[in-house]
């Protein structure tokens, strides 16, 4: 059997798209990824927001899986920026564009990036990863969240001076880590197979023996903003936000951290 030459119009060389077997991906004749620079678990990416200042993605908060093709879901879940400032020389190491190739700076009221409601549909097998960087914390600054005030379902991920929590609203479940410091950090929350784990800087910090349902299927996710309280926003940079349709392994979380750290 001959290997495929294209998936959804994206030219490839190789038999599968899993982050190792693909030799090359080109878009409009331009090589955008090689086997060495594909994201970890690329075939399971639902949405990827690298926030890089290069040709694909860039400062418009696009979901680049829709541009590149070949991921787990090539739908364009493009974000809507409501006031965050784009820093073209900030951020972590982008797997394609290199170090300090762009990030979003969140500060002020009604500032965030709204993602489409259709991005998540109540999945119980999923992973979310992202980087953040801040000089200091205020009270319960939101990194990513879904659900409005008074909702009985949804997810809220907050960080403040010393504490980090990811809440599965409505089910009373919470992942926590005490001892956060200012500066640059990586988060991964992975759920499936009857448990949900929190990783901070590639180290597992907490676990709950239950799958978390990803949002309420009604409200969108927000990056850098508490969706239920518009005047609660994150103060600092957020970069390389990823949604997966699988539960990442500890090894995969480590690989993401190692491949993208500043």
Q: Give strand pairing partners of 144.
A: 157, 223
Per-residue pLDDT tens digits for 56-93: 555 678 898 888 877 888 899 999 988 888 888 888 88
Pull the structure tokens for residue 37.
């620079």
Class for the domain spanning 77-260? mainly beta
Distance of CA 78 to the CA centre of its chain: 13
To the nearest whole percent, how much of the chain has pLDDT over 70? 74
Cβ-contact 195, 207 below 8 angstroms: yes
CB 66 within 8 A of CB 57: no
The structural domains of the chain, with segments of one domain joined by +, span: 77-260
> For the chain, how big is the Rg over CA atoms in Å?
17
Per-residue confidence (pLDDT) for residue 195, from 0 to 100:
96
Angle at 233 between CA 122 and CA 76, to 5 degrees: 45
Of the ranges 17-26, 31-40, 42-51, 242-251, which one carries the lowest mean pLDDT score?
17-26
């Amino acid at each position: 059997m001959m290997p495929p030459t294209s998936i959804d119009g994206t030219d490839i060389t190789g038999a599968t798209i899993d982050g190792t077997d693909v030799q090359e991906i080109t878009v409009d004749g331009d090589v955008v990824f090689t086997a060495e620079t594909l994201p970890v678990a690329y075939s399971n990416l639902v949405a990827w927001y690298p926030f890089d200042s290069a040709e694909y993605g860039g400062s418009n908060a696009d979901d680049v899986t829709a541009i590149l093709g070949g991921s787990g879901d090539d739908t364009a879940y493009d974000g809507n920026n409501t006031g965050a400032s784009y820093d073209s020389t900030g951020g972590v190491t982008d797997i394609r564009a290199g170090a300090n190739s762009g990030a979003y700076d969140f500060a002020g009221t009604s500032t965030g990036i709204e993602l489409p409601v259709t991005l998540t549909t109540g999945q119980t097998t999923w992973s979310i990863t992202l980087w953040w960087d801040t000089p200091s914390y205020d009270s319960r600054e939101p990194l990513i969240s879904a659900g409005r005030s008074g909702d009985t379902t949804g997810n809220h991920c907050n960080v403040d001076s010393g504490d980090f929590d990811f809440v599965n609203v409505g089910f009373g479940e919470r992942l926590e880590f005490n001892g956060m410091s200012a500066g640059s950090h990586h988060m991964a929350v992975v759920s499936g197979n009857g448990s949900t784990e929190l990783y901070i800087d590639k180290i597992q910090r907490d676990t709950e023996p239950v799958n978390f349902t990803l949002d309420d299927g009604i409200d969108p996710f927000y990056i850098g903003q508490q969706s239920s309280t518009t005047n609660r926003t994150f103060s600092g940079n957020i970069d390389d936000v990823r949604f997966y349709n699988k539960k990442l392994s500890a090894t995969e979380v480590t690989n993401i951290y190692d491949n993208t750290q500043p």
